[in-house]
């Protein structure tokens, strides 16, 4: 090829330069929009196993049986201590938080298609990705 002959991919003609300016600018703007959206606005609903204090239901009791109980037993019966149960609670988490989680394998897809946090709230997550 003659040195002065313009070859595809090497030319820097006005048209190719304008095309490059336009495409680079478009991609740059798209990249900035994506980053700002992800960092500031994008949230994902995540199912998180959360500790919930549940007061157990008081079972039915007949009056004769109640009369046989001592005052302490009655108090305990009618004011049962709350029980800690784990419940899946939907929580909106930002994309940076999700990214931090996926780097240690903390998220998975539940059977219903929802995103699930694989550790209970407060549970220690691994230091590194399991893969």
Partner 1 sequence: MVSMAEGKITTVSSKLARWRTTIQTYFLFIWILPFIRIHSVCSPVFHCYACPLAAFGCPIGVIAQFSALHLFPFLAVGTIILVGSLFGAFVCGYACPFGFLQDLVGRIPTPKFHLPKWTGYIRYVVLLGLVIIVPFFFGERHPLFICRVCPAGAIEAALPAAARQAIAGEAVSWPNALKITILLLFLLAMFVNVRPWCRILCPLGAIFGLFNRFSAVYMRLDTDKCNECRLCEKKCKYGVIPEKELQSANCIRCMECADLHCGAFVATSIFNRKKAQPPDPKDKSITDEK
Q: Which residues bind partner 1 (CB under 8 A)?
A: 1-10, 12, 17, 20-21, 23-24, 27-28, 30-35, 37-39, 42, 44, 95-100, 102-105, 107-109, 113, 115, 128-129, 131
Rounded to whole angstroms, the Cα distance separating 53 from 40 reads 33
Nearest approach, Cβ of 36 to partner 1 (angstroms)?
Answer: 8
Nearest approach, Cβ of 90 to partner 1 (angstroms)?
Answer: 15
Q: Quick one: 21 or 54, whose CB is closer to partner 1?
A: 21
Sign (positive or negative) of CA dihedral 66, 70, 73, 74: positive
Q: Quick one: 42 or 74, whose CB is closer to partner 1?
A: 42
Nearest approach, Cβ of 18 to partner 1 (angstroms)?
Answer: 9
Residue 80: closest CA among 112, 50, 103, 53? 53
Between the CA of residue 93 and those of 7, 101, 111, 124, what are the distances in Å?
51, 10, 20, 18
Nearest approach, Cβ of 23 to partner 1 (angstroms)?
Answer: 4
Cβ count near 110 (within 10 Å):
13
């Amino acid at each position: 090829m003659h040195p002065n002959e313009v070859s595809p991919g090497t030319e820097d003609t006005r048209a190719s330069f304008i095309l490059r300016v336009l495409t680079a600018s478009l991609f740059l703007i798209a990249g900035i929009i994506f980053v700002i959206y992800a960092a500031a606005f994008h949230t994902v609903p995540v199912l998180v196993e959360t500790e919930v204090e549940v007061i157990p239901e008081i079972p039915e009791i007949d009056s004769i049986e109640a009369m046989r109980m001592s005052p302490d037993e009655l108090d305990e019966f009618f004011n049962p201590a709350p029980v800690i149960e784990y419940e899946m609670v939907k929580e909106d988490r930002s994309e940076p938080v999700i990214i931090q989680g996926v780097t240690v394998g903390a998220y998975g897809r539940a059977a219903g298609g929802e995103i699930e946090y694989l550790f209970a709230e407060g549970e220690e997550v691994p230091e590194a990705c399991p893969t």
